[in-house]
Amino acid sequence: MSDQRKKERWELVELPGGFRTSFGNWYTITREGLESYVPGLLKRYSLEHLVRVADDWLRSREQFPVLVFMLLVYSPLSELLSLVLGLSFYVFWRTQLSALIYPWAHPAIRWICEDALLYGVFIVGLAYDSVVPEGWAQLGLSSLEITTLVGSFLIIKTGLATMAFRFLHTRFSKRDTTAITDRILNMVLIRYGYKEGLLTGNLKAMQDEFIRLANYHKTRKKN
């Protein structure tokens, strides 16, 4: 039953122009393109695994900042400082995510992205003071902190923060950029290729050229 539920929760559909997942993400690369980009990688990992890894990292753009912000609100920090730090981390994580992708970190990211964890931390934090045994430390959340927490949680989880971020990025970005889905999948392929000692097509061509030039100069010295 659990395996069936997992399959229903996440699916990958291969289309002529790329992949679409049940998380709503679209990747503009085909199986053949992926194999030519990092030759041999699909022999080590299934296509489903690699795309699911990319999907999990994409989900973390919303899920991880929500978790961090909740922990900041539950901490002794002031409401203003928690809000500033939470917003700063949200912007940082969304803009720098592709540079932070590593295979060893994926299990933690996937666990963090579970809705059960986020809703659990959210509900337990709000109800903690009313159920904690006497003598235990209390969070002592003020009405402002609770309002800020609930409002921020809803804004991010409903996608309003994402829409606002996309609008600002489109409004102020002066250069065309690759879609975030393709950037994330690209980094996943590169990192997993490095992990297995495989080079992308461009790097392999560069390495072959370096070897060719080195052999050429060795031959000239002998002559």
Residue 80 near residue 55, CB atoms below 8 Å: no
Residue 17, SS3 per DSSP: coil
**Residue 93 confidence (pLDDT):** 93
221: in domain: no
72: in domain: yes
Measured distance CA(26)–CA(115) in Å, rounded:
22
Q: Please state, rounded to an integer, the average pLDDT across all residues of the chain.
A: 79
144: in domain: yes
Residue 162's nearest CA partner among 88, 61, 84 is 61
203: in domain: yes
Measured distance CA(205)–CA(7) in Å, rounded:
38
71: in domain: yes
**Residue 206 confidence (pLDDT):** 47
Residue 130's nearest CA partner among 146, 148, 151 is 146
Measured distance CA(117)–CA(126) in Å, rounded:
14
Q: How many domains does the chain have?
A: 1
187: in domain: yes
pLDDT, tens digit, 9 for 90 and up, residues 109-151: 999 888 888 888 888 877 776 666 665 666 667 777 777 777 7
| Distances in whole angstroms, Cα of residue 161 to Cα of each of 94, 135, 156 | 11, 39, 5
pLDDT, tens digit, 9 for 90 and up, residues 31-76: 888 888 888 899 999 999 999 999 999 999 988 988 898 888 888 8
**Residue 201 confidence (pLDDT):** 66
- The string of DSSP letters for 77-104 reads S-HHHHHHHHHHHHHHHHHHGGGG--GG
Residue 118 near residue 67, CB atoms below 8 Å: yes
pLDDT, tens digit, 9 for 90 and up, residues 96-117: 998 999 999 999 999 988 888 8
pTM, entire model: 0.77
pLDDT band per the 50, 70, 90 thresholds, residue 1: very low
pLDDT, tens digit, 9 for 90 and up, residues 162-216: 777 777 766 666 565 678 888 899 899 999 998 988 877 665 554 565 566 556 5
128: in domain: yes
**Residue 7 confidence (pLDDT):** 43
Containing structural domain, residue 133: 2-215
223: in domain: no
The larger pLDDT score, comparing residue 214 to residue 83, is at 83
Residue 127 near residue 212, CB atoms below 8 Å: no
